[in-house]
Amino acid sequence: MVSMEKKSAILMSVGSFLVVTGAVMAVFWPSLFMLVLKKIMVLAPGSTSYNIWKEIPIPMYLEFFMFNISNVDDILAGKNVKMQVEQFGPYVFREYHKKVNITFNDNATVTFYNERTWFYEPEMSNGTLDDVITSINPIIATVAYVLRNQHPLLKVPVDVFMRMFHDNMFLTAPVRNWLFDGIEDPVLDVANHFPDLPINIPYDRFGWFYERNGSKEFDGIFLMNTGAKDFSSLGNVEKWKYSDRSNFRDECGVVQGSTGELWAPELGQQELTVFAPDICTYMNLARTDNPVEVLGVQGVEYAANNSLFDNGYRYPSKIMAILQISGEKKISKMYGVPLILFFVVGDLILMVLEGISNGGNLTYFLTDKTFLIFIKTVLSCFLSFLPSDMNFRLSLEMYTGMPLSVAAQLQINLLVRHVDAITINNQLPDRDTLVPMFWFRQELFMTEQYASLARLALGVRSGVPIGLYTITVAVGILLLVIGIFILLKKLLKPSDTLLDSPHEVVQ
């Protein structure tokens, strides 16, 4: 039989062990939690994150708002009028992302293509894809820009040639053709038969998203960090199109940042970097003070600030080309035609366009002639964030790195300037006009299914240490008390036995 001394010693030893263990576990549980989280999130075949990353199950929607020029007849009649536009839409598409041609490499990276597919959602849209939109013909504006510095002996025949197929510089087509199906144009057909022309035309039709729907190659090939060696680098792009640089110069040409789908726990850092293949560079998103809560999960919001389209004035590292005057923005030739990026703020921006108003958000374009004369490029996808609440925003749950919401709004405008001897291109009232073509909004919000997973993970992170500490320490203290009680009882028992013994001999 175990003596009372041994029982007391065992109980007090176990109790002390539990108290110490509970305290230690409470202190080191966050590190243990991070080890478990790494195993779940590091990208590898069969990992929890892999299936979500490979084919994102969270619903994503892309909304298009088209601008229709409503006073074409007045413009063609030579009246001194402002261009009037009206907004159509939204035309809503469900967007799917799927990674294809996936290859895991030995250096903790993965190579893949990102295949994006869009399906029209008529119930969520205002209008149909058969709605007719009239706007500037980008093909005419492109040809005029490319030939702007050529001799009139070349430009005049080109002008005559384009007038054989077009009465003016405006183009009318259904929404479906403007976006995905593409618009046939005889000028393209003829140009494609002469590969030595100074105009690089990679497509047989014109459409803003032509040949993108279901294409795996359009976004390019990515080399991304899996986080296996450096968990903090999870989801970061190492190379894009087989290079660690894009066509931009200096720092703007560096390929860096997350793809936006996988994030290691950031734990409150002040800035995030996202690589955007559509603009061939990265975006810095600064932490905001806006509180975020999605389906009961709290997070931190990051948003683009004026560094995104800065010209190098406030952020010297953002200079993308050597420019002649202050105020010009980023210029590149990423898509075969020049690309101008502006952030829509500043004294040079004036509202000179009638008809655009979207819930208090106004669209602007530049009219300062001195400014425009020195702009190196005319035709482009002119990307500008809409003012005020229209911005790129990303919200993350900081302890798991789980995206709670993503919202991005961009507007595409076409800068049209008069070119001597190409008269079909010179029909707008002003010699330099930035014409709004369309804007789009992309949104993603966490579903209840993934919100419940996030709440469970956060509950484990915060609840387990509390439970460990409370239960183990409480049990440990209880065992200590019992052990001490037994020990005290044993210490007091001999004297009581001596007094009560019937065999006691009194001297």
Summarised one tens digit per residue, pLDDT across range 87-112 is 999 999 999 999 999 999 999 999 99
Tell me the residue type at 326: S
Mean pLDDT of the region 172-192: 90
Q: What is the pTM of this model?
A: 0.76
Tell me the residue ranges of DSSP E strands in 295-401: 297-304, 330-332, 339-341, 349-350, 365-366, 382-384, 393-397
CA distances from 462 to 24, 26, 230, 457 (A): 15, 10, 25, 9
| Confidence grade of residue 279 (pLDDT, cut at 50, 70, 90) | confident
Burial grade of 74 (CB within 10 A; 0-12, 13-18, 19 or more): middle
- Whole-number average pLDDT of the chain: 75
pLDDT in the model for residue 247:
75
The answer to which of 139-148, 229-238, 347-356, 416-425 has the lowest mean pLDDT is 347-356
- Residue 7 tokens read as 């029982």
Local structure of 320: helix, strand or coil: coil
Residue linked to tokens 């002008």: 159
Task: Kindly report, residue by residue over 120-171, the tens digit of the pLDDT.
Answer: 999 999 999 999 999 999 888 888 888 888 899 989 998 999 999 999 999 9
| Beta carbons of 452 and 294 less than 8 angstroms apart | no
Q: Which residues sit opposite 441 in a β-bridge?
A: 63, 409
Q: What's residue 311's pLDDT? A: 55
Task: Using pLDDT thresholds of 50, 70 and 90, give the confidence band for residue 354.
Answer: very low
pLDDT at 34 (0 to 100): 78
Q: Read off the pLDDT of each residue in 447-453 and give the average, rounded to a whole number.
A: 79
Question: Residue 143's pLDDT is what?
Answer: 85
- Per-residue pLDDT of 451-486, as tens digits, reads 777 777 766 666 556 666 666 666 666 766 676 666
Backbone angles phi, psi at 481, to 5 degrees: -65, -45
255 by Cβ neighbours in 10 Å (0-12 / 13-18 / 19+) ranks as: buried
pLDDT class of 198 with cuts at 50, 70, 90: low
Per-residue confidence band for 222, with pLDDT thresholds at 50, 70 and 90:
very high
Q: According to the model, what pLDDT value does residue 117 have?
A: 96
- Whether residue 301 is predicted with pLDDT greater than 80 in this model: the reply is yes
Assess whether pLDDT exceeds 80 at residue 493. no
